[in-house]
Amino acid sequence: MKVRIGIAVVLAAGLFAAGEAAAQQPPAAGQNPLDVVPEKMPFNTPYGAPISLEKAQAAIVAAVAEANKRGWALNVAVVDSGGNLVTFSRMDGAQLASIAISEHKARAAARYRRPTKVFEDGVQKGFNYLTTLDDVVASRGGIPLVEDGKLIGAIGCSGATGSQDEVICTAGAATINK
């Protein structure tokens, strides 16, 4: 039982802190890990001015180049800090259903200020309340774009496995996230 509680604590901390050093009290035995109140607010990157078309296109070019290098046909979307579509690219042969999914991943990453992998991890770990949140996509492949400490948009990729989508998005995000 102690091992389960320990695992739940670690998983909850990883989900909500996601790399931020937020000092918090561990849950008492039998306490729900979600009841722990972090001292610092996770995923608190402030919203900035919307990404420019030029920067959005550069992110798409980098993502498509990486996908071409690997032989993966994907859909890639970039949204601004408000989750509005700025630019989109559908590679030849990319799955048509993934057009909307790539946009959805980008919107979720921008609006919630976190990679969509956080939602995937949370659902897999049993935090099923995440599925009740509006516009959540519990699949990796959506990454916030942060410039000078402010969220200016997000990139979303879809059409392959979640891990492949994430690799391509990471290549696109690297044009901005330094």
User: Domains plus CATH for the chain?
Assistant: 2-35 (no CATH), 53-173 (3.30.450.150)
pLDDT of residue 83: 97
Q: How far is CA 165 from CA 73, 105, 121, 161, in A?
A: 10, 10, 15, 6
Q: Which amino acid would we find at residue 148?
A: D
Chain mean pLDDT for the chain: 87
Higher pLDDT, 66 or 43: 66
The pLDDT of residue 19? 41
- The strand pairing partners of 79, in sequence order, are 85, 154
Tokens of 45: 């990157």
- Contact call for residues 78 and 106 (beta carbons, < 8 A): yes
Pairing of the two strands 150-158 and 85-90 = unpaired
pLDDT at 9 > cutoff 50: no
pLDDT band at 25 (very low <50, low <70, confident <90, very high): low
